[in-house]
Amino acid sequence: MRPLIATVDLAALRHNYSLARQCAPGRKAFAVVKADAYGHGARQVVAALADVADGFAVCSLEEAAEIRAVNEQARMLLLEGCFEAAEYEAAAELRLDVAVQGSANAEQLLAASLPRPLNVWMKLDSGMHRLGFTAEAVRDWYPRLREAPQVAELNLMSHFACADERGHPLNELQLEQFCALCELEFDHRSMANSAAVLTLAAAHMDWLRPGIILYGATPFAELSAEALGLKPVMTLTAGLIAIRDVPAGESVGYGAGWVAQRPSRIGTVSCGYADGYPRTAPSGTSVVIRGQRVPLAGRVSMDMLAVDLTDLPDAQLGDAVELWGAQMPIDELAQACGTIGYELLTKVTRRVPRRYI
């Protein structure tokens, strides 16, 4: 078997969910498990959190149906809502909470014949300008939805654009927009994503929506996951499958961009961009072998990458290579690649086996 595995630590996952809850005592929290639980396996993550999570949040009906197949009772929020009238009936059959993000959605909901009423979350566009009603439209639609037979709970939600930038002026403006609707008697309110859970107590409201922090990565550029008390959930581990000596002046990899400046010992590692390791990782990016960091040498290939073992003479064929995990934080790799941990986690492909501990 090819030596590559993503090990998912379910105890770390539960720790991170508990940490999110501790930030806002008395509030409830939807664990965000969209995109196959950020690449960790939605079914396994939901099963691991089933006895502690207040609910789960997903992107699509397809994601919701997959979770409902393994958890009949969990409360589930459909974050992106429905896209046509018939989908509201499917959402009701799956017993979902549903985001309604504009007049067209609301009209479709009121035209739907449902087997049971839905918990509806009106989405306010408080400043991100991606989805949502204007504040004026929320006020206009509130009485119609409050009285509609298709609606059980009527709730309000919004989403921050810059919560990961502490002190950004838009955060306060968005909170003001949200709180300006306080005269409307919504059953529940929700605004706090991962960054707001950790640093914006005024945004905690009734329901939190922790996402990336559940998986042990940080939403902040300047605060590490370790500093926040988070534990990494996924460890991506490959193996050393070849070792060769490369003379000074010889190149390694596609494009011959990395050239040995000294007689070098080069290792080949069984992971590439088709597995989800970023092709944009530059030479010098660290991986960990035998507890020591060693640098990438040359371009990442589809199925392999090369590392410079010259300063780790004890390295041998078959050694484990940590590409990210406790010793090599995923956020450090993401920063080196000009991206974020969210993208790396969600891009681990299906051909990488997951092992749950």
| Residues taking part in catalysis | 34, 254
**What is the token pair recorded at 287?**
């991986």
DSSP string for 92-154: HHTTEEEEE-SHHHHHHHHH---SS-EEEEEEB-SSS-SS-B-HHHHHHHHHHHHH-TTEEEE
Q: Which residue has the tokens 């991606």?
A: 130
Residue positions forming the annotated binding site: 130, 302
- Mapped onto helix, strand or coil, the DSSP state of residue 92 is helix
212 Cβ neighbours under 8 A, 6+ residues apart: 38, 194, 218, 219, 341, 342
Question: For strand 251-252 and strand 264-269, is the pairing parallel, antiparallel, or unpaired?
Answer: unpaired
Residue 141 one-letter amino acid:
W
Question: For strand 354-356 and strand 151-157, is the pairing parallel, antiparallel, or unpaired?
Answer: unpaired
For residues 341 and 333, give the distance between their C-alpha atoms in angstroms, rounded to a whole number: 8
- Mapped onto helix, strand or coil, the DSSP state of residue 4 is strand
Residue positions forming the annotated binding site for substrate: 130, 302
Angle, nearest 10°, between helix axes 103-111 and 85-93? 70
